Each structure stands twice: as structure tokens, then as C-alpha cells.
């Protein structure tokens, strides 16, 4: 396996591999990471670092994988709070009182695709296997956010919802927020039918950079560029935005891809925490 990226690091700790953004590695008050497929205890189609509950892997394996990932990234397993994703745009503020929900405590909500906090010792967990991870770090208030943006969440502009929620809850200013986008399935591999493409064309963005018609009536969509334009529309400067150059489908030996595995897969997670 050859890893090449201009914006991300591949970190290997005790045989576990995780990705991080160089831009966020330089922020001293946070820890973050994106799991890969490598370094866990899961077997069969989940081999080996599966972070997804409810897909057929044992909860014992998934929890052990979380403990290993937390140790590698440098966050406390007890600090984790997980989303409960359904491709919607609900953003939840969480605190120390919610630690463990979705991991070692039951889920208490059914529609949470974005999480925000300004408390140290709270680690936000969101899940992926081609969809777009969004991370938000307010360098002044030290508030953070993490969001899962599939195509429905992207069309629903969940990135904008996170920024508005951070403004409302923490007094964040968009010009102080660093945003990272990806790793996710990229425009080279994300093919959709016309009804989905039309929804992207109707977002009021620069669709020529987002929707690419094919000769067979299908369309290629750039989810990452779409999310970039959405957060810029909320006032985040382009210089504050980093887009991953790791396509999940192209790199399915390293990371989980729903399309590459035809759904027979484990899942990745993103972890973001204030320390």
C-alpha cells in the first residue's frame, strides 16, 4: 500500500493506522483522527478495524477497536459521545453529561448527524464509509463540531447548520473557524442518477464545479466541493478550509468504502476532542 496525500498524515501506533489533517495536527488544544481499516480485532468482512455497531460485528470487538483507536489518537475512551446518524441535519450540543452515549451507554436520540461542544474531555464521534466527514474548530472560543454529510445531509446543508449552531451556542465567528472536509468518496467515483444531480444543481451554488454530466445520462458529483461552498456561504474564509485528497473508494484497501465493498463492510469513525 502506497499512501500519498498533501494534506493528511497516515499515523501508525502499535500497528493501528489512523489519518489526521496536517492543519488540525498543528492546533494545540485538540486531538483528532479518522480510523482506517487497519489495526483492529474484527474478523471476516469487518477485518480488522471496524468502528460500526449494528452491522453484524460483535459489540465487544467494536468497543475494543474504539479503545485501541482512542489510545492511538490520545483521547480517553470514557470521553466518547457518538452521533445517531440518519442522513438528516440535526446538530446536537453535548457536554460531559452525555459522555458514553452511543458507545458504552445506549443511544438516547434517533437523528443526530452533527455534534458540537466547547467542553474539554468530550470527544465527538461520527461515522463514515464514503460519506463526507466535516470537522469544525473555533480557534478563539475553542469550540468544536463534527458532522456526517452524506448526499442528503450535504443537500440539506448540514455544514451550515453546524456553523449556525456554534454561533448560537458559543458565540463563534465564522472567520475564526477552521473547517476540514473528507476523506470521502470523491468526484472521480461518486456517480448518481439525474434526480439526485438535480438536487445539487438547485442548491444555489456554483454547480459547474459540483455536477458533471456523463454521456450515459448519469452524473458525477463532487461532495467535497459542495460542502466547501456551503461553509463559505456561512462566512468561513476559503483559506480556513482544507479538503482531503483521499478518495475512500480509490483507497478501499486503507479505508472503508460502501460502494467498493457493495455494502459488505465495517465502518470508519472520526474523533474530535478538546484537551
By the 10 Å C-beta count (0-12 exposed, 13-18 middle, 19+ buried), 164 is classed as: middle
Q: Confidence class of residue 2 from pLDDT cuts 50, 70 and 90?
A: confident
Q: Is the CB of residue 113 less than 8 Å from the CB of residue 165?
A: no
Report CA dihedral (59, 61, 63, 69) to the nearest 10 degrees. Answer: -150
Whole-number Å distance between alpha carbons of 241 and 236: 8
pTM beyond 0.95 = yes
Whole-number Å distance between alpha carbons of 258 and 249: 8
Whole-number Å distance between alpha carbons of 255 and 131: 12
Nearest to 24 by CA among 157, 168, 100, 133: 133
Q: Which pLDDT does position 12 carry in this prediction?
A: 98
Q: Using one digit for the tens of pLDDT, what is the confidence trace for 34-75? A: 999 999 999 999 999 999 999 999 999 999 999 999 999 999
DSSP state of 184: B
Q: Using one digit for the tens of pLDDT, what is the confidence trace for 71-111? A: 999 999 999 999 999 999 999 999 999 999 999 999 999 99
What's the chain's average pLDDT?
Answer: 98
DSSP three-state, residue 196: helix
Q: Which residue has the cell 463514515?
A: 128
Residue 17 pLDDT > 90: yes
Q: Using one digit for the tens of pLDDT, what is the confidence trace for 174-199? A: 999 999 999 999 999 999 999 999 99
Residue 157 Ramachandran class (φ > 0 left, ψ -120 to 50 alpha, else beta): left
Three cell numbers, residue 265: 463492510
Residue 1 pLDDT > 90: no
Report CA dihedral (169, 118, 32, 157) to the nearest 10 degrees. Answer: 0
Whole-number Å distance between alpha carbons of 255 and 275: 26
Residue 220 pLDDT > 90: yes
Q: Which pLDDT does position 195 carry in this prediction?
A: 98
Task: Map out the domains of the chain with their CATH numbers.
Answer: 8-185+240-274 (3.60.140.10)
Cross-strand partners of 20:
9
Three cell numbers, residue 83: 452521533
Amino acid at each position: 500500500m502506497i499512501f500519498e496525500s498533501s494534506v493528511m498524515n497516515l499515523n501508525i501506533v502499535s500497528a493501528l493506522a489512523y489519518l489526521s489533517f496536517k492543519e488540525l495536527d498543528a492546533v494545540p488544544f485538540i486531538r483528532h483522527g479518522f480510523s482506517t481499516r487497519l489495526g483492529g480485532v474484527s474478523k471476516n468482512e469487518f477485518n480488522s478495524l471496524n468502528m460500526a455497531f449494528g452491522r453484524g460485528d460483535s459489540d465487544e470487538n467494536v468497543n475494543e477497536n474504539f479503545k485501541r483507536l482512542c489510545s492511538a489518537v490520545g483521547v480517553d475512551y470514557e470521553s466518547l459521545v457518538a452521533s445517531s446518524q440518519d442522513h438528516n441535519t440535526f446538530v446536537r450540543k453535548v457536554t460531559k453529561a452525555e459522555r458514553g452515549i452511543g458507545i458504552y451507554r445506549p443511544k438516547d436520540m434517533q437523528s443526530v448527524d452533527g455534534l458540537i461542544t466547547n467542553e474539554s474531555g468530550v470527544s465527538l464521534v461520527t461515522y463514515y464509509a464514503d460519506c463526507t466527514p466535516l470537522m469544525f474548530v473555533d480557534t478563539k472560543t475553542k469550540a468544536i463540531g463534527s458532522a456526517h454529510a452524506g448526499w442528503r445531509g450535504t443537500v440539506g446543508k448540514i455544514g451550515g447548520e453546524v456553523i449556525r449552531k456554534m454561533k448560537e451556542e458559543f458565540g463563534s465567528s465564522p472567520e475564526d473557524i477552521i473547517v476540514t472536509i473528507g476523506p470521502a468518496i470523491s468526484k472521480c467515483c461518486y456517480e448518481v442518477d439525474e434526480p439526485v444531480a438535480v438536487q445539487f444543481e438547485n442548491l444555489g451554488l456554483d454547480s459547474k464545479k459540483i455536477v458533471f454530466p456523463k454521456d450515459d445520462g448519469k452524473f458525477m458529483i463532487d461532495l467535497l466541493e459542495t460542502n466547501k461552498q456551503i461553509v463559505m456561504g456561512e462566512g468561513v474564509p476559503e483559506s480556513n478550509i482544507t479538503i482531503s485528497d483521499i478518495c475512500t473508494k480509490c483507497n478501499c484497501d486503507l479505508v472503508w468504502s460502501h460502494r467498493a465493498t457493495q455494502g459488505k463492510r465495517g465502518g470508519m469513525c472520526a474523533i474530535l476532542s478538546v484537551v
